[in-house]
Amino acid sequence: MSRWTTARLVSRTKESDTARTLHLDAPGWPGHLAGQHVDLRLTADDGYQAVRSYSLSAPADGDRIAVSVQPAPYGEVSPYLVEDFPEGADIEVRGPLGGWFVWRPDRTEPVLLVAGGSGVAPLVAMLRARLALPEGPAFHLVYSLRGPQERWFGDTLDSLAGRTEIAVDYAYTREAPPGSARPVGRIQQAELLVDGFTPAQAPLCFVCGPTAFVEHCANALVALGHRPDRVRTERFG
């Protein structure tokens, strides 16, 4: 059983103009698997409490955990976490949570990751867990985002340049960088047919993002011939 414990905000780092990663110190953290999430509980001075779930965006690192937050317009919690939650302050945390949408480092099959917007967070945790291994299965990330300014985890993704077994494709939906061959627009089914990650290779597929995006991509993967139980989804709702 998971209990609420206290974590302290150590620092915030920038993922985009608006999004931030919060680095928290959680004493006694038991470790976690890539893809798991935490619940954060906030308490206002009038006793009102709000609970929100956030994916862990980095693999286990001692007592240190990271969550990445996109502030929702008029949101109650996310703008506070991004702008106002003070460094050095405490927040209640429960986790790690969820044993279904996870990648375990002893898996050997290829892994196809499909991210929509901030849904990239748990998928980059999986990518980082793979990068921490000296060798392991092939990974491929298809990252759908509005424009280049909204790319998260740039340092990690740029470090993949030149690697063949771990790669990322970008699918810009509104604005693409100059020189992009791909026209802007939402991901097409054919873009999810990636060499080395076809249904014949039986990859594990993880899809994360807004509900409509996940619905679209998961249906496309199943239509391509992936077994439904190998297409794991996390909808932000």
Partner 1 sequence: MGMQDGNALAGPLSEVFAVDVTAAQRLCPGCGTDSAVGALHVYRMATAAVARCPVCGEIAFRIARHAGALWLDFGGGGALRIPVG
Partner 2 sequence: MAALTPGFRSRRRAPGDRLPPGQFLTEGFPVLSAGPTPAVATDRWRFTLTTETGDQHVWTWPQLTALPQADVTTDLHCVTRWSKFDTRWRGVSLDMLLDGVDTEARYAWVESYGGYTTNMPLADLRNGRAWIAHTYDGRPLPAEHGGPARLLVPHLYLWKSAKWVSGIRLRINDQQGFWESLGYHAYGDPWREQRTWGD
Positions in the binding site for partner 1 (CB under 8 A): 1-2, 37, 39, 51, 53, 94-95, 97-101, 210-212, 229, 232-237
Indicate the residue among 28 and 178 with the shorter CB distance to partner 2: 28
Tokens for 34?
A: 């890539």
Q: What three-state secondary structure class fits 193?
A: coil
With CB cut-offs between 5 and 8 Å by kind, which of partner 2, partner 1, none does residue 61 bind? Answer: none
Distance CA 203, CA 26 (A): 34
Indicate the residue among 53 and 198 with the shorter CB distance to partner 2: 53
- Interaction between residue 176 and partner 2 (CB under 8 A): no
With CB cut-offs between 5 and 8 Å by kind, which of partner 1, partner 2, none does residue 39 bind? Answer: partner 1
Q: What three-state secondary structure class fits 149?
A: helix
Kindly report the number of other CB atoms within 10 A of residue 84's CB atom: 8
Pairing verdict, β 139-145 and 166-172: parallel
- Interaction between residue 237 and partner 2 (CB under 8 A): no
Q: Using the rule CB under 8 A, which residue among 71, 80, 131, 191 binds partner 2? A: 80
Indicate the residue among 94 and 230 with the shorter CB distance to partner 2: 94
Distance CA 128, CA 146 (A): 23
DSSP-H helix ranges across 68-119: 78-79
For residue 205, the minimal CB distance to partner 1 (Å) is 12
**Residues present in the chain in total:** 237
For residue 86, the minimal CB distance to partner 2 (Å) is 6
- Interaction between residue 45 and partner 2 (CB under 8 A): yes
- Interaction between residue 84 and partner 2 (CB under 8 A): yes
Taking alpha carbons only, the member of 132, 236, 220 closest to residue 171 is 220
Please state, in angstroms and as integers, the Cα–Cα distance from residue 42 to each residue in 106, 149, 191, following that order. 36, 30, 40
- Interaction between residue 155 and partner 2 (CB under 8 A): no
With CB cut-offs between 5 and 8 Å by kind, which of partner 1, partner 2, none does residue 2 bind? Answer: partner 1
Helices and strands counted in the chain (H then E): 4, 11
Task: Report the interface residues with partner 2, using CB under 8 A.
Answer: 4, 6, 41-46, 48-50, 74, 76-77, 80, 84-86, 89-92
